[in-house]
Amino acid sequence: MSGNEIVVLGRLADPYGIQGWLWLHPFGDDPLAWARMPVWWVAREGESWRECKLNGLKPHGNGVVVLLEGIGDRTAAEAAKGLLVGAPRNALPKVDKDEFYWADLIGLAVVNTADERLGKVAGLIETGANAVLRVVADDETERLLPFVSAVVLTVEKEAGLIRVEWGSDW
């Protein structure tokens, strides 16, 4: 993965208020740290990324709301709903040991403690309580594994492997 590849960080959700603010659905734990990035990138799924200046980001209730340049009212915010938010990898805050950007997990092989290959990570789902790995096997069998320490034992990014405590027949 190159340093300029865009990493998806979240998705813009419903408008908040009448001045262009939007709820942000982050795909990670610390969206407030993204305020340090001078530019965000936005795009719809399958479209080209474009730069967008962040004019505001603040916690609100149990979530985060954002104000992006060029989105000045509720109508513009409604039109922006569903945009993906991202940044080039080299602009992202560094992660601590045992922390990962979701983009780093997609495509990794998932193997259980009996060395049975369960498939590859095809995506992640945020449930509120924890993230969930969506693992798809070669035969198209799909498994949803909670991304918690009781299930995910190790993530070996360099080896392209996630080792889990999960039966192949579960």
Predicted local distance difference test score (pLDDT) of residue 1: 37
pLDDT digits (tens, 9 = 90+) for 36-47: 887 899 999 889
**pLDDT for 28 beyond 90:** no
**pLDDT for 60 beyond 60:** yes
Show the domains of the chain with their CATH numbers: 6-91 (2.40.30.60), 102-164 (2.30.30.240)
Grade residue 70 by pLDDT with cuts at 50, 70 and 90: very high
Q: What one-character DSSP code corresponds to residue 141?
A: -
Q: Which two tokens stand for residue 4?
A: 């300029």
pLDDT digits (tens, 9 = 90+) for 115-140: 999 999 998 888 878 889 999 999 99
Predicted local distance difference test score (pLDDT) of residue 3: 45
* More confidently predicted of 77 and 96: 77
Grade residue 4 by pLDDT with cuts at 50, 70 and 90: low
Predicted local distance difference test score (pLDDT) of residue 53: 94
Sheet containing 161-164: order of strands: 142-146, 131-136, 117-126, 109-112, 161-164, 152-156
**pLDDT for 85 beyond 90:** yes
Integer-rounded Cα Rg, in Å, for the chain is: 18
* 77 sits in which H/E element: helix 74-80
